[in-house]
Amino acid sequence: MVRLRPFRAGDEVHVAAWGKDPEVVRHYFGRRTLAEVEGPLVELRAAGGRIVRAFESAEGELLGWVELRNIAWRSGAAELRICIGRRDRWGMGYGTAAVRAILAEAAARRLRHVHLRVALWNQRAIASYRKCGFRAQAVLRAGRRRAEGMEDLMLMTVDLASQAFVTQSVV
C-alpha cells in the first residue's frame, strides 16, 4: 500500500505546504515542522541515531514521512514519529502501512523495542498503533506543552522480537 524512500529534491515543497496546515501541525508531534527543523530534506540519511523516510502511495504520490529517532543501537531501542501530510488521505490505512514498513526496517536493522508518544485525544492514531502491535505503557499527564495548554500523552511500545514484520514496501 505504501513505499518508503529517501526524501528527494522537490519534496520540500510538499512538506512546507503541510506545515502550513494547522490540522496537520496539531496532529504531528512537535511545535515545528520537519522542514523548519532539518533544512534540506534530501540530506537526511540513515546514520547515527536517526532513520527518516518519506512514504508514498503505490501510485507514487507523496503522503508523509516516518522516522525512528533517538536510536540506541546497543540496547536496540528507538522512538517512532510519523506525519501524514495529505489530510485527504487520513483514515485510509496509509499511516498503518507506513508504520508497519518502518517497523520492518527497524527489525531488519536488529532494533528490538520501539516506543512512541501520542496525544490521548487522538484515538484514531492509537487504534492504528495498536494494529501495528503497540501496547499502552503509561499516561504522561501534562506530557506536552501546546499553545492551548498542557496535553496528556500516552506512551506506547512494541517489542519487535515478538512480532513478525515482513514487508516489500521498503526501498
At residue 72, φ and ψ (nearest 5 deg) are -105, 95
Question: Does the pLDDT at position 25 exceed 50?
Answer: yes
**Inside any domain, residue 171:** no
Range of the domain at 25: 2-162
pLDDT in tens, 137-155: 998 876 555 556 677 889 9
Instruction: Report percent pLDDT > 90 for the chain.
Output: 50
Q: What was the pLDDT predicted at 164?
A: 65
**Inside any domain, residue 170:** no
CATH classification at residue 80: 3.40.630.30
Q: Which residues contact 33 (CB under 8 A, 6 or more apart)?
A: 15, 16, 18, 19, 25
| Residue 24: pLDDT band with limits 50, 70, 90 | confident
**Inside any domain, residue 37:** yes
pLDDT in tens, 73-123: 999 999 999 999 998 998 899 999 999 999 999 999 999 999 999 989 899
Q: What was the pLDDT predicted at 70?
A: 92
Q: How many CB atoms lie within 10 A of CB 165?
A: 17
Q: Which residues contact 115 (CB under 8 A, 6 or more apart)?
A: 77, 78, 79, 80, 137, 155, 156, 157, 158
According to DSSP, the residues that pair with 145 across neighbouring strands are 150
Exposed, middle or buried, 146 (CB in 10 Å: 0-12/13-18/19+)?
exposed
Question: Does the pLDDT at position 33 exceed 70?
Answer: no
**Total of domains in the chain:** 1
Q: Which residues contact 101 (CB under 8 A, 6 or more apart)?
A: 2, 3, 4, 53, 55, 66, 167, 169, 170
**Inside any domain, residue 169:** no
